[in-house]
Amino acid sequence: MPVVPLSEKSGNAPFIGETEFVDPENEAEQVKLYIYLAQAEFVDAALQADFGQFSNEQRDFVAVLKSYVLQYNSEELERQVTTNNGALNLRLDGNSVTLVRGTHFFYNKKDRNSFSGN
């Protein structure tokens, strides 16, 4: 998994733990790592453009959609998308939705950073 500055952490990824490393030869050299569970990352502009029309006064459809996708464990999400040629097909609140990897979402930050449209 990629190591990124804490300021680049996206979403509300579940916190796993933290650890600290101190150079035994120079205690002034140290690093602290915060570990978060990898999760899907979304392209909010594309989600809003393609599915924002399903929102109403009672609910933000895009927020519900993102929450729904985050319920998948990473292996199942990847299996579903691979089986469907790069897409995740859902029926949510009576609406048929097709999310496309690379357009609407990525499996995680590593996938976003290395995505080549395959």
Same domain as 48, residue 24: no
The contacts of residue 10 (CB under 8 Å, 6+ apart) are 41, 109
What does the pLDDT look like over 60-115, one tens digit per residue?
A: 999 999 999 999 988 999 999 999 999 999 999 899 999 999 999 999 888 888 88
Nearest-5° angle of CA 71, CA 77, CA 79? 150
Same domain as 109, residue 73: yes
Tokens of residue 118, six digits: 């395959």
Same domain as 60, residue 24: no
Same domain as 63, residue 107: yes
Same domain as 47, residue 31: no
Q: What is the pLDDT of residue 1?
A: 56
1 domain residue, yes or no: no
* Number of domains into which the chain is organized: 2
Query: Containing domain of residue 22, as a range?
Result: 6-36
Same domain as 50, residue 75: yes
How far is the C-alpha of 95 from the C-alpha of 77, rounded, in Å? 20
How far is the C-alpha of 64 from the C-alpha of 104, rounded, in Å? 14
Same domain as 59, residue 110: yes
Q: What is the pLDDT of residue 23?
A: 92
How far is the C-alpha of 22 from the C-alpha of 29, rounded, in Å? 6
Nearest to 103 by CA among 112, 95, 91: 112
What does the pLDDT look like over 26-70, one tens digit per residue?
A: 999 999 888 887 889 999 999 999 999 999 999 999 999 999 999
**Prediction pTM value:** 0.76
Same domain as 63, residue 23: no
